[in-house]
A = this chain, B = another copy of it.
Amino acid sequence: MRRYLALVLLACSLARAAADDAKPAASNVPRAEYPRVHPDSRVTFRLKAPDAKKVQVQPGGADNGLGKGPYDMERGTDGTWTVTTPAAVPGFHYYWLLVDGVAVNDPGSETFFGYGKPTSGVEVREKGVDFYDAKDVPHGEVRALWYHSKVTGNPRRAMVYTPPAYDANHKERYPVLYLQHGAGEDERGWTTQGRANFILDNLIAAKKAKPMIVVMDNGYADRADAAPPAAGQPPRFDFGPFEEVLIGELIPKVDATYRTLADRGNRALAGLSMGGMQALQIGLTNPDAFASVGAFSAPPFGKIDATTSYKGAFRDAAAFNKKTRLLWLGAGTAEDRFAAGVKTMRETLDKAGVKHVVYESKGTSHEWQTWRRSLHEFAPLLFTD
């Protein structure tokens, strides 16, 4: 009898699988069945909430590849709410659930620090693309480096990627890429959402990028003597204290801690969105610190002036071109405002004769797939000329 029952259950389970080969998202917690991603990139979300009156899925931000939402979930007879979205753009998408209007994370999802707090995310696989997978190649390490900042008066944590065999090659020195997250995110973003370590592992294994150290700090910093920001308020959008931390504390700490090539030619600064604005602002105005700068989805908004912007960095194009190893700009074609900003900057730089590289990520918007691709395009150009 028990054997018969087991066979029936097996048959049912096979029938279910044949009817729907959606799979749990790679971003789920272990053994969570939902969210599930269908072969055509639709995503099904589910939550058990028998007493709720309304449950919705809310994609994060204006340009989310899951669509705009919110998507109303439909209540099943057992109190389980379900919805399937239209086909999503490939990549990583932040989202949360609205349970009777309260924004909560999906218990089926791992959390990813975005929007200033842990946030659900769903990974939608891009067919034929594996450059950010954890493959069976030599892996670098991601290290949490704690350091005390006099600028902020606090212990701070930076994440540091050291390339494969860093410890074994104990006489080799490496160039360093400083790589910053976006607004609302933190120093974990590039390795969790961005999979920067796997992108570098794969590029290095294929000899497409030089082995390098990547330092990912928290881009927020308040001076020790500043009044704490009001509770519930967003952090200050002031890059000054972070510039002091980066130039005066973090770079010396990294150069003292790791076997770096500690000169400007072997040091790059890049970032996404807010982090890209920091890269342009801090990188271009500290040419003695950085010879390469990358701005992912982060053009200067408003007026850009080849004579005055960035403390006149572009004023003498020939001098800039001579001392700059790489100025790199990227954006997704589906993030209109950012793509337009890059276009304006590109035109200004072209007119001024300032050398630069522009990259367009096809079909992606202000999301991590744009930035994974950007890193994958940017890193091979670093430290090579």
**Residues of chain A at the chain B interface (Cβ within 8 Å):** 24, 29-33, 47-54, 99-105, 107-108, 110-111, 116-118, 134, 136, 139, 141-148, 155, 160, 167, 170, 191, 197, 220, 229-235, 257-259
Q: B136 contacts A148, CB within 8 Å?
A: yes
* Identical chains bound together, number: 2
Give the residue of B32, B191, B233 whose beta carbon is less than 8 angstroms from that of A31: B233
Q: A146 contacts B155, CB within 8 Å?
A: no
Q: B167 contacts A258, CB within 8 Å?
A: yes
Cα–Cα, bound, A53→B99 (Å): 12
Q: Which residue of chain B has its CB nearest to the CB of A166?
A: B167
Q: B116 contacts A31, CB within 8 Å?
A: yes
Q: A104 contacts B101, CB within 8 Å?
A: no
Please, could you name 14 A-B residue pairs with CB atoms under 8 Å apart, sorted by A? A31-B230, A31-B234, A49-B101, A50-B101, A51-B54, A99-B99, A99-B104, A102-B104, A104-B104, A107-B117, A108-B117, A136-B148, A141-B146, A142-B143
Cα–Cα, bound, A170→B258 (Å): 12
Give the residue of B31, B142, B144 whose beta carbon is less than 8 angstroms from that of A232: B31
Q: A33 contacts B232, CB within 8 Å?
A: yes
Q: A29 contacts B118, CB within 8 Å?
A: yes
Residues of chain B with a CB closer than 8 A to A104's CB? 99, 102, 104-105, 107
Q: B147 contacts A139, CB within 8 Å?
A: yes
User: Distance in Å from the Cβ of A343 to the closest Cβ of chain B?
Assistant: 35
Residues of chain B with a CB closer than 8 A to A146's CB? 134, 139, 141, 197
Q: B99 contacts A100, CB within 8 Å?
A: yes
Cα–Cα, bound, A314→B318 (Å): 78
Cα–Cα, bound, A160→B157 (Å): 16
Q: In the complex where A51-B100, A257-B167 touch, is A32 in contact with B143 (Cβ < 8 A)?
A: no
Q: A24 contacts B231, CB within 8 Å?
A: yes
Q: Which residue of chain B has its CB nearest to the CB of A155?
A: B134
Cα–Cα, bound, A110→B117 (Å): 7
Residues of chain B with a CB closer than 8 A to A107's CB? 103-104, 117
User: Distance in Å from the Cβ of A119 to the closest Cβ of chain B?
Assistant: 9
Residues of chain B with a CB closer than 8 A to A259's CB? 167
Give the residue of B29, B100, B141, B148 whose beta carbon is less than 8 angstroms from that of A143: B141
Q: In the complex where A24-B231, A32-B117, A118-B111 touch, is A141 in contact with B144 (Cβ < 8 A)?
A: yes
Q: Which residue of chain B has its CB nearest to the CB of A154?
A: B134
Q: A141 contacts B145, CB within 8 Å?
A: yes
Q: B30 contacts A116, CB within 8 Å?
A: yes
